[in-house]
Amino acid sequence: MTTIIERAPAKINLGLDIQGKRQDGYHDLEMVMVSVDLCDYISVSPLDDDCIQFASDCPKMPVNAKNDVYKAAQLIKSKYGIQSGVSLFLTKKIPICAGMGGGSSDAAATIRALNQLWDLQMSKEEMLEIGMAIGSDVPYCIEAGCSRISGKGEIVEKIDGHLASWVVLVKPEFGISTRTVFPEINSETIKRVNIDKIVETIEQQDYQEMVAAMGNSLEDISIARKPFIQKVKDKMMSSGADAALMTGSGPSVFALCQSEKQANRVVNSLKGFCKEVYKVRTL
């Protein structure tokens, strides 16, 4: 029996800028995202019965049509008229409700895995279309890496440059629902982030300038709700991080460090302060 295992890496936002509200109710976003080597894994195997079986090692995950993995399998089966079944298993390492794109990356990995399993030979555009039907971060996660994302999330452009850095990730014990953050956005007063500058500094491999340009328009809203986010950032910076920033709509915060020694210092400073701390690298 063929089993295909696909890696689903977490992402962090080096930049997130809200450009305004669209007529369809969504916000126009400009983002720079990079993948890190904290990964979930999706295993897919064929079934004779025409059904979708889904399980996970994470008891907190719904293993039904509410889960993006299941949604991806359903969409592909329907779109391509697949009349055989599939068994899906999700090994979860990325914290849930963390702003690290775990669910979106899981869905993207499912699309890639089923493309192989069922030999669908989907084009990149077809994969992106399925991804966008699931969620706005999924198109980025199809290819992952270091990219600029715009529109609702459907426009993904690879950045011609590589960020090699240690990353210390902290997931506080509380979650923040993205859906509840966006209604609070005031396009007139929100902090703006220069995404062009971040892209330019990555392309020029100018780490210090990139660090100076990083920012997240949603930070102020999430920190006003949960001041602990700012405390984590302050602790990271005081222990020698080059940068500390919230990712997505939060609550997770990451620090960038050029050396592993620096990263170890940041990790040690967070012991006893936060339970979920991860030392990873950019991919």
Spatial separation of the C-alpha atoms in residues 9 and 105, rounded to whole Å: 6
Residue 137 annotated to the active site = yes
Which listed residue (40, 106, 137, 242) is catalytic?
137
Whether residue 95 is annotated as binding a ligand: the answer is yes
Phi, psi (deg, nearest 5) at residue 113: -65, -45
Asked if 206 and 199 touch (Cβ cutoff 8 Å), the reply is: no
Whether residue 272 is annotated as binding a ligand: the answer is no
Residue 261 annotated to the active site = no
Instruction: Single out the residue of 131, 216, 148 nearest to residue 178, CA to CA.
Output: 216
Spatial separation of the C-alpha atoms in residues 242 and 79, rounded to whole Å: 46
Size of the chain in residues: 283
All residues at 6 or more sequence positions from 158 whose CB lies less than 8 Å from its CB, including other chains: 143, 145, 146, 147
Asked if 184 and 154 touch (Cβ cutoff 8 Å), the reply is: no
* Alpha helix positions (H), the chain: 68-79, 102-117, 124-134, 138-143, 178-181, 195-203, 207-213, 219-225, 228-238, 260-270
Whether residue 20 is annotated as binding a ligand: the answer is no
Whether residue 185 is annotated as binding a ligand: the answer is no
Whether residue 9 is annotated as binding a ligand: the answer is no
Asked if 178 and 249 touch (Cβ cutoff 8 Å), the reply is: yes
Torsion of CA 138, 139, 142, 148, to 10 degrees: -110
Whether residue 99 is annotated as binding a ligand: the answer is yes
Which listed residue (11, 77, 226, 233) is catalytic?
11
Whether residue 103 is annotated as binding a ligand: the answer is yes
Whether residue 153 is annotated as binding a ligand: the answer is no
Whether residue 274 is annotated as binding a ligand: the answer is no
Asked if 80 and 111 touch (Cβ cutoff 8 Å), the reply is: no
Whether residue 39 is annotated as binding a ligand: the answer is no
Whether residue 135 is annotated as binding a ligand: the answer is no
CA distances from 263 to 37, 123, 188, 279 (A): 15, 39, 37, 7
Residue numbers belonging to the annotated binding site: 95-105
Residue numbers belonging to the annotated binding site for ATP: 95-105
Q: Which residues are catalytic?
A: 11, 137
